[in-house]
Structure 1
């Protein structure tokens, strides 16, 4: 068993929601859209090495490197136009 937990959702429901959003925005041009948007998967782990491993497990299929952004956080992001898909490992003392 891994020493980390990836807080992910139900894939089919998430993708259906994205399609619904695209359809809604396409059909309703009066609705403003943001300049940038982010989707983030969170990784929980007590140890730094486990947190990095969890982030790397999500980052690998994205084809992006994992970065140590300091203070126990790890991050990886892939930009798709103005939308960023990322993963962040959060130290236990920062979780709520």
Structure 2
């Protein structure tokens, strides 16, 4: 998975993902205020987990089962949150 390019500015030479504050605020407001998002706190935790684990190309290789185990959440709930994050175009699945 990777974060959609228009949300992050750049990845520095040191491998630090730079996200503009206004983009982060808009994503957070969208997740917290959207009635479609049934689990806003978990969706935000997943988004932060994904951002923290990005490589220098803006990608992370994760599975919903592993995320469920790491975050202590139910697998079905995690998959619903990932699906929601894809729907609002924050995350995208990379096809190999």
Q: TM-score, normalised by structure 2?
A: 0.28
Q: TM-score, normalised by structure 1?
A: 0.28
Asked which structure has the greater CA Rg, the reply is 1
Q: Which has the higher helix share?
A: 2
Greater RCO between the two (CA within 8 Å, min separation 6)?
2
